Chain A
């Protein structure tokens, strides 16, 4: 069972470079999320999607863009990376209806360092 898969797991960027994090889920979940984790701040929501073709801003969306062209994939883009975007990024998904709809399923995280 793959669940939620994030690629890449690690990446080092220079300031101003761009990159895309890919999240894929095989559970047919409607909702998908991108969080960032920083020491002492828990996980903060960057963007999320409630269905294919839809996206919405979370708590800390500035400097990021997302796309959900296919239900199973949720992409997070950094157009011009900044050192403040050094973090661990988590993708998550959840079902919309049925039992236990509150539970999020997480990927293993992607560590991004911006020099």
Chain B
């Protein structure tokens, strides 16, 4: 079974600064997807970024980028130029490429301070 661990229950950052959220996972699979989802106070789950394990290049979406270290089974999310609207719960998640189930970490509550 796959497990996903987010060791930072809460983090805070000043507006316009950069913050990195950590995620580690455990799997014996070689082909899989990794995701970061954002859940603002509205409760809606929003996909922030995805990474396919076979791709060595780290995924980037505007101010969001990941540091994917496959050997270390680490998948951190970097948010640059933090904005107040980035305040949310962030979940790291794992899915086997051939699978159908998405496994989530415990979540990190990020607060962006003005």
User: Which residues of A does B touch, CB under 8 Å?
Assistant: 31, 33, 35, 40-45, 48, 50, 58, 88, 90, 92, 100, 102-104, 106, 108-109
Residues of B within 8 A of A41 (CB): 106
Query: Looking at chain B, what size class is its interface with the partner chain?
Result: 20 to 34
Which of B59-67, B68-76, B95-103 is near enough to bind chain A?
B95-103
Q: Is the interface of B mostly helix, strand, loop or mixed?
A: loop
Closest B residue to A41 by beta carbon equals B106
Q: How far is the CB of A54 from chain B (nearest CB, A)?
A: 11
Q: Are A48 and B35 in contact (CB under 8 A)?
A: no
Complex contacts, B103 vs chain A, CB 8 Å? 45
CA of A31 to CA of B98, assembled, Å: 13
**Contact A102–B35 (Cβ < 8 Å):** yes
Contact B101 A48 (CB under 8 A): yes
Contact of B9 among A35, A40, A103 (CB under 8 A): A40
